[in-house]
Structure 1
Amino acid sequence: MSSTPTTEQVNAALATVQDPEIRRPITDLDMVKSVEIGDDGAVHVGIYLTVAGCPMKGRIEKDVTEAVAKVGGVTGVKVELDVMSEEQRKQLQTKLRGGQAEKEIPFAKPSSLTKVFAVASGKGGVGKSSITVNLAAAMAAQGKKVGVVDADIYGHSVPRMLGVEHAPTKVEDMIMPPTAHDVKVISVGMFTQGNQPVVWRGPMLHRALQQFLADVFWGDLDVLLMDLPPGTGDIAISVAQMLPGAEILVVTTPQQAAAEVAERAGAISAQTHQRVAGVIENMSYFTAPGSDEKTYLFGEGGGRTVADGLTKALGAEVPLLGQVPLDVRLREGGDEGKPLVLTDPDSEAGGVLRGIAERLVGKPRGLSGMQLGISPTRK
């Protein structure tokens, strides 16, 4: 006959359960309200939800039940859900901000180790959002902790393309971003009803971007991708002001007319003093099924033209990171919320996108910028 489980054993099991949105153990977040163990091995667990309408409460209840049920001697598990008080939420908010109650943009701090890439294009329709979504999914599949800001306020499309199913959750004035394919996502489309257009001018755009960066709890990200609107307008300028260390990724098509406009989008870095990480040429060519012959529907050389032009204008090498072929599955994956790099990673387009992702963040994070807590001594 197995012995009755102890409180320590149950708490150890609860420590393996992570909040689906915050991605930290519920024990660290003070979400465990109570643990009661009966003489017959039945366990009653009280769990605090951050908010009453938490969209992930079913997931939390299921994970808690499964974790506790694995403890030796447990004969049954009952989970009772409660809701944090306002004071508890404020304490959680302060804990998540590392003890700092005030808002700040974590990626702008000198100690930040997060690589930030602003994905830009000169004009719309070049597949910038598709590239962003697939790069994010590829990086996450490679084990990176990834976030995406859909900063294309007027043309927001990232939530659909990543298959986001839940709205953000608010803990006081902190926003918990939903996750899809292990990628954290925030978009203005999550705060509008239906397909309602956003009619904002410069100051409101700036404030929205600031909220996405400071009010959202991103956690410890390896990479943050920002899907910018086409052109060199307010958002591009705001990104340069808030995140001067962000690197620019320029997306273009092979068409020379598109390339000329894309080069202007990248050349903004000369004024903002940002680095251009490289150029991605999308829709480079089409290969018919069963054929090896490439058809260049939109011409050739646009990506190389942009890379060479920016290299000359900026005085620093700007590489052509890759040429992504036309693939109907890339479009279908965007409509279905299933990125091609996940559904068919070995396809030609999927392989190119995964290669670009590896090239951008393939190296592990080093100690540069990390505070080691070491003080110099004098002899």
Structure 2
Amino acid sequence: MSDLTVTSDLGYVEDAFAWARKRALDWVQTDAAAGNLPSYWAGYPSRPMFYSRDVCHQAAGAHLLGLDAENFAMFRHFARSATAERKWYPLWAFHFDGSIAALDYHGDEHFVREIPAVFDLTYRALRQYDWTGDGNWLDDPDLAAYYRRSVGDFVRAHDHDGDGIPEAPGTGDIFDGAASYNEHPERPLNVAADGLAFQYGALVELARHYGDDYRAKAVGIQREFLTWWDESSGSYARGRVKDGSLDIGWGIETSWLSTMTGLAGSGVRTERFLDFIEKWLETDAPPNIESFSYLPEVFFRHGRDESAWRWLRHLIDSRDDYPEISFTVVEHLVAGLLGLVPNAPEASLTIDSHLPAEIGWLTADHVRVGEWDLRIAQEGRHATELTVHSGPGPLTVTVGSAGTWTLEPGQTARVTSQTKDPS
């Protein structure tokens, strides 16, 4: 378990972190029964299981809380479940002892499967390597094979028109296979924007860690998506339907996840698309609280920090018992507000304040990046202080546009918008 703490001039933040930390740790199932995998609850509170989509989204918060063994065991379990008989889909859910959740599995031809999850597992697992620096995330045979197959064998098995993008049957039945994380679209999709978003994200991460052979495929996926722009609505399409036409309109996950993984890029169109998303959130918000848990990451990524804070407060105020909420609140309060981008394998960390006007200062202590134990304090947008409590060697730190420097274990640096002063 981590010693992570959060303090702030805004008591609301401290109360929120205390609630989220305790509630998330309450969901840990590693020693709850004999035979359990290292695991935590990830799915409906009424279902004692861990689901692929939920594990993917809870993993960053779980790392911050010291649950690296749980993350690794669950990701590897999903990786092992993707077989040729299942056409390289991983299973959707398991019980904590590793047995298949029969609720979502009726046989190798009939089980719940959603295309985004295939790529999300690769995308999030490789980001765990960035957080932990643990080479097993790259070298474990089951995980390494899964990564390759997710963007290789899986795509070939489901790409019926040869464009490098897998298609779902378009029946609307999740037991046949769904194109999107949005299980109730207005029209059943063959290809969904959120599926493309995670395929792109997985390819970008693979290119970073395994070589540029994957980068060209990522560029091709993005090039295709950017043709989905609809000028009249100021949005990208939700996806394609059976006849090949684009499906235009508000689509919840099919709308905003393309902005979260970088698929939509940046620039004027992306800003208009974010405006479109913000407008529709006001008038047609999703009915399920867990969908909201992506929004802070969406808006932090694009510097819309007040919007990110608005939806983070929505999650906090819900005090919802869905496990995804407590885990992602931990992530957003620490990695999101402080703007942390770790690269433990390269002994580096980027920090860029996303504090909203309501928060004067925020400190997170005992943040783990690889083997480094850090204290990170921010005062608004003008000052950051970093202490390296301990670590295996020097850590290279970049703070916003103020610059980059190297800190040894035991050193502290205070950076303002004009200066950096390691000591």
TM-score relative to the length of structure 1: 0.27
- The structure in which a higher percent of residues are helix is 2
Larger Rg: 1 or 2?
1
TM-score relative to the length of structure 2: 0.25
